Chains A and B, each alone.
Chain A
Amino acid sequence: MPEITYLEALRQGLWEEMERDERVFMLGEDIGAYGGAFKVTDGFQKKFGEARVIDTPISEAAIVGAAAGAAHMGMRPVAEMQFIDFISCAYDMLTNYVATARYRAGLATPIVVRGPCGGYVRGGPFHSQNPEAAFLHTPGLKIVYPATARDAKGLIKASIRDDDPVIYLEHKWLYRRIKEQLPDDEEILTPIGQARVAREGKDLSIVTYGATVWKALEAAERLAKDDGLSVEILDLRTLLPMDDAAIVATVRKTNKLLIVHEDTRTGGIAGEITARVNEQAFEWLDGPIMRVTAHDVPLPYAPTLEDFVLPQTDDIVKSARWLAAY
């Protein structure tokens, strides 16, 4: 089995779906001739042609709107946001037009809007964002956020095949940092809506997603070694719809819940998870549900500042220790 990166896994998923289904096409800024800012679509235009890998003007609203129109006509467009920070320019189109189309008008809009998200890369305020909370609030959208190479591939393929609009968040810190052996004789599809237990444990649960899955795994390793603590880690993989059953199952197992996300705190997804656990597993808790998140500031550029603002492995270790002792 060849070892491939998270980015290569994503590429493979896109490539396979383009080969499998001629209705699939891509549009975005600099994705064709150049192959994309991070080379996710490198070589695609040469293989599939200019009609299926379309370079567009810098117009995120038009990119998403045009993808929606094409999807109404039976196509399966994959729209790239060059950095996911720019998805806010298409917020109206996604939340008002795309998300409501099936409900208000019976219109299928099977589009994927994907792009590099996340920090830890010194990208500054506009090349580091995690926009999931802004869209979690919108019925009609789905949001997936892979942490592993397998899921990067499995979720892009599942997103393209899904009959509803999906926002696919790919973490640029993971692009070339994560490597995994993936079989090339097996179709990899990750079901949308299903979380994954990334590490089994019995003393405390960490629910997380994206890059912080890896920070949490590092923390769990240290807690096992230094404290003898057995930490369970749940990688959500899909944020909308959320896998309540998996969250409740881990809470019932360990009775302590720490939620970790890279996004800012107020109005972040941890709050939503907290409410769900409160409603569905209140009597199973032996301590307060605690959150480790970014501080509530725009993400600054300088390494000293970024490292302070974002949640780090140390933060998770200390918080888990505190909660375990509660």
Chain B
Amino acid sequence: MSPHSVPDTRSETPAIPAALERPQLLELYRYMRLTRTLEERLVALYRQSKVIGGLFRSLGQEGESVASAYALERGRHRDILSPLIRNLGSMLVMGAKPIEILRQYMAKAESPTQGRELNVHFNDLEKGYLGQISHLGDMVPVMAGITLTFKLRGESRVGLVYIGDGATSTGTFHEGLNFAAVLRCPLVVIGEYNHWAYTTPPEKQYAVKDLADKAKGYGIHAVTVDGNDVLAVYAAAKHAIERARRGKGVHFVEVKTYRRKGHAEHDDQSYQPPEELEWWAKENDPLDRYAKQLLENGWAEQPELAELDRAVKDEVDRATDACVNDPLPAPQTALPGVYAHPAAAERLWFRML
């Protein structure tokens, strides 16, 4: 559609919901596009064997990731979130840079963890993100402690933690949720119902219909929203975050979405019904839906979105070029930093022979 063919309907443009403004709508779009483009670049690098370990895609979940993080107060020493493997978009919103993600996946010496950790497992507490560990559920108690500290210090800050549908079966999830509820921590939990926990479907994971029911069992205010409706997720997250900030305790926002790729890139998805995958791709892609919504409501015009797509691709190209040939860490850098004191682990005798 050329811009000339669009009738000027601005006077009749529907109001933008959730007190958002037009530049913010475009920013949301940009973060979603950046997430997808960056992951597509990682796929190319994975196929070239430049990504050292596994590659985890968030295809289909970019909307809820970006929108929920976008509802936080961002900036130095403001709100803090703890993302999961499929919340690359949330990290980008909080200020993680594409080059950091690329370096992490390629285990570069200059990666945020100097090649010690994988993929999105890294953090910057000043910017406001705390990387997960692989033991699912563990970040809920940790974020309970972070938000307990906000409360003890009388700071008006909020924490947000993601939990996958499968991870709601872990003990640490339940302990952490209850602990935070009892101590009235300013914590928002985003429950991601994405239908697949590796190969396990919901009916083999839990006997409730909605994850929100689990939260309600702990006396927590919980809602369920369409996770692929970007503005609905934003509005629900914003509401929960501001209530938590006002001292109303833990809030749970369940987002119904769908994991369109395998657990990781190696996974052939043989257990996911093809018609299900096709429906979510064709009828319920969060980025497609959001772009359509922006255009149909007159909140954005096609050339603006195309320009954002191009700028994002340029950014990812530049970031890739800037680090793809960087060195891996020097072997002996494996020893320092286990403790503050002593500063480094001992080099073993057989390495000195």
A→B interface (CB under 8 Å): 25, 51, 54, 56-57, 59, 61-75, 77, 92-93, 96-97, 100, 102-108, 139-140, 142, 162-164, 241, 279
What distance in Å separates the Cβ of B334 from its nearest Cβ neighbour in chain A?
A: 9
* A72 surroundings in chain B (CB, below 8 A): 125, 130, 142, 145-146
**Are B143 and A69 touching (Cβ within 8 A)?**
yes
**Are A57 and B182 touching (Cβ within 8 A)?**
yes
List 13 A-B residue pairs with CB atoms under 8 Å apart, sorted by A's residue number.
Answer: A59-B176, A65-B145, A65-B175, A65-B176, A66-B142, A69-B145, A70-B145, A73-B125, A77-B145, A105-B113, A105-B122, A140-B339, A164-B340
**Are A105 and B117 touching (Cβ within 8 A)?**
yes
**Are B175 and A61 touching (Cβ within 8 A)?**
yes
What distance in Å separates the Cβ of B284 from its nearest Cβ neighbour in chain A?
A: 35
What distance in Å separates the Cβ of B84 from its nearest Cβ neighbour in chain A?
A: 15
**Are B176 and A96 touching (Cβ within 8 A)?**
no
Residue ID in chain A nearest B178 by CB atoms: A57
What distance in Å separates the Cβ of A153 from its nearest Cβ neighbour in chain B?
A: 21
**Are A62 and B178 touching (Cβ within 8 A)?**
yes
**Are B123 and A93 touching (Cβ within 8 A)?**
no
B152-200 interface with A by 8 A CB criterion:
152, 171-172, 175-176, 178-179, 182-183
B→A interface (CB under 8 Å): 113, 116-117, 121-123, 125, 130-131, 133-135, 138, 140-150, 152, 171-172, 175-176, 178-179, 182-183, 337-342, 345, 349
Known A59-B175, A96-B138; contact A103-B146, beta-carbon cutoff 8 A: no
Known A92-B172, A104-B113; contact A62-B179, beta-carbon cutoff 8 A: yes
**Are B179 and A102 touching (Cβ within 8 A)?**
no
Residue ID in chain A nearest B179 by CB atoms: A62
Alpha-carbon separation in the docked complex, A75 to B142 (Å): 13
Known A65-B176, A102-B338; contact A92-B144, beta-carbon cutoff 8 A: no
Alpha-carbon separation in the docked complex, A139 to B339 (Å): 8
**Are A97 and B152 touching (Cβ within 8 A)?**
no
Alpha-carbon separation in the docked complex, A215 to B19 (Å): 72
Known A57-B182, A92-B135, A92-B172; contact A70-B340, beta-carbon cutoff 8 A: no
* 4 A-B pairs closest in CB distance: A69-B145, A65-B141, A66-B145, A163-B340
Known A65-B138, A97-B135, A107-B123; contact A241-B342, beta-carbon cutoff 8 A: yes
**Are B152 and A51 touching (Cβ within 8 A)?**
yes
What distance in Å separates the Cβ of B254 from its nearest Cβ neighbour in chain A?
A: 21
**Are A66 and B138 touching (Cβ within 8 A)?**
no
* B143 surroundings in chain A (CB, below 8 A): 69
What distance in Å separates the Cβ of A312 from its nearest Cβ neighbour in chain B?
A: 36
Known A62-B178, A65-B176, A66-B141; contact A103-B135, beta-carbon cutoff 8 A: no
Complex partner residue of B133 from A63, A74, A100, A108, CB under 8 angstroms: A100
Alpha-carbon separation in the docked complex, A75 to B172 (Å): 22
**Are B113 and A70 touching (Cβ within 8 A)?**
no
Complex partner residue of B179 from A59, A97, A103, CB under 8 angstroms: A59
**Are B116 and A104 touching (Cβ within 8 A)?**
yes
* B113 surroundings in chain A (CB, below 8 A): 104-106
**Are A62 and B341 touching (Cβ within 8 A)?**
no
* B341 surroundings in chain A (CB, below 8 A): 162-164
**Are B338 and A140 touching (Cβ within 8 A)?**
yes
Alpha-carbon separation in the docked complex, A294 to B81 (Å): 46
Residue ID in chain A nearest B130 by CB atoms: A72
**Are A54 and B117 touching (Cβ within 8 A)?**
no
Alpha-carbon separation in the docked complex, A206 to B341 (Å): 28
Known A100-B133, A102-B339, A140-B338; contact A69-B142, beta-carbon cutoff 8 A: yes
* B142 surroundings in chain A (CB, below 8 A): 65-66, 68-69, 72, 97
**Are A104 and B138 touching (Cβ within 8 A)?**
no
Known A140-B339, A163-B341; contact A62-B146, beta-carbon cutoff 8 A: no
Alpha-carbon separation in the docked complex, A25 to B171 (Å): 25
**Are A103 and B337 touching (Cβ within 8 A)?**
yes
Alpha-carbon separation in the docked complex, A57 to B218 (Å): 12
**Are A69 and B149 touching (Cβ within 8 A)?**
yes
Other 15 A-B pairs with CB < 8 A, given A69-B144, A105-B121: A56-B182, A59-B175, A59-B178, A66-B141, A66-B145, A72-B145, A72-B146, A73-B125, A97-B135, A102-B338, A102-B340, A105-B113, A108-B340, A162-B340, A162-B341
Alpha-carbon separation in the docked complex, A162 to B342 (Å): 11
Alpha-carbon separation in the docked complex, A140 to B140 (Å): 22
**Are A62 and B338 touching (Cβ within 8 A)?**
no
Alpha-carbon separation in the docked complex, A108 to B338 (Å): 10
Between A61, A96, A107, A142, the greatest number of chain B beta carbons within 10 A of the residue's beta carbon is seen for: A61
* B179 surroundings in chain A (CB, below 8 A): 56-57, 59, 62-63, 66
Residue ID in chain B nearest A71 by CB atoms: B145
